[in-house]
């Protein structure tokens, strides 16, 4: 696919190559070292983390580090908007999986109404919502300048 945009705007470059990787490292470090805090983010009286929790959170932390490294390194290596878009589709897929899991947990507790959310819920959902909104804006081409005469389809 031929890139149909001329350059990556500074806002996206800063967000995706600096802020997003820092958020990933922060989240991964909590998964690795503060599993009780992570479990309490959507569960008011969380269980004591058992080996199953530790395994799942450690794996999730590794996934977060993966996304952070890809964002911090790969996106600095290329200006190809198509590559940037592929990375954002992968990241927004994880964001959507997080929302599904939060919806399931909050629903099971009867706390789907924002009025029933705690500060921890707002923070976790809010950070993901902001990142997801930036990803969606990028994928929709908001702020990207189109190249003249390029259709952006494969083979043209």
User: Residues 47-72: pLDDT tens digits?
Assistant: 899 999 999 999 999 999 999 999 99
The C-alpha atoms of residue 118 and residue 109 are separated, in whole angstroms, by 13
User: What is the pLDDT, as a whole number, of residue 41?
Assistant: 86
Q: Average the pLDDT over 26-40 and give the result.
A: 94
User: What is the pLDDT, as a whole number, of residue 156?
Assistant: 41
The C-alpha atoms of residue 12 and residue 135 are separated, in whole angstroms, by 9
Sequence-separated contacts (24+) of 139-147 with Cβ below 8 Å: 139/85, 139/88, 139/89, 139/92, 141/5, 143/9, 143/11, 143/12, 144/5, 144/8, 144/9, 144/81, 145/5, 145/6, 145/7, 146/4, 146/5, 146/6, 147/3, 147/4, 147/5, 147/6
Domain boundaries, the chain: 10-139
CA nearest neighbour of 136 among 95, 80, 82, 75: 95
User: Which residues 6+ apart lie within 8 Å of 71 measured at CB?
Assistant: 16, 17, 20, 21, 24, 87, 91
User: What is the pLDDT, as a whole number, of residue 46?
Assistant: 84
pLDDT in tens, 98-152: 999 999 999 999 999 999 999 999 999 999 999 999 999 999 999 998 876 555 5
The C-alpha atoms of residue 103 and residue 136 are separated, in whole angstroms, by 20
> Is the Cβ–Cβ distance between 34 and 53 less than 8 Å?
no
> Would you place residue 153 in the very low, low, confident or very high pLDDT band (cuts 50, 70, 90)?
very low
């Amino acid at each position: 696919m031929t890139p149909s945009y001329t350059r990556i705007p500074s806002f996206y470059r800063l967000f995706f190559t600096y802020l997003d990787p820092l958020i990933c490292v922060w989240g991964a470090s909590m998964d690795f070292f503060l599993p009780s805090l992570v479990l309490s983010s959507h569960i008011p009286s969380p269980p004591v983390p058992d080996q199953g929790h530790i395994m799942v959170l450690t794996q999730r932390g590794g996934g977060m580090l993966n996304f952070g490294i890809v964002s911090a390194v790969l996106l600095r290596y290329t200006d190809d908007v198509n590559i940037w878009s592929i990375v954002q589709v992968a990241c927004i897929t994880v964001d959507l999986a997080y929302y599904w899991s939060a919806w399931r947990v909050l629903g099971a507790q009867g706390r789907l109404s924002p009025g029933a959310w705690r500060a921890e819920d707002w923070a976790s959902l809010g950070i993901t919502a902001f990142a997801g909104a930036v990803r969606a804006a990028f994928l929709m081409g908001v702020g990207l300048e189109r190249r003249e005469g390029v259709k952006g389809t494969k083979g043209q």
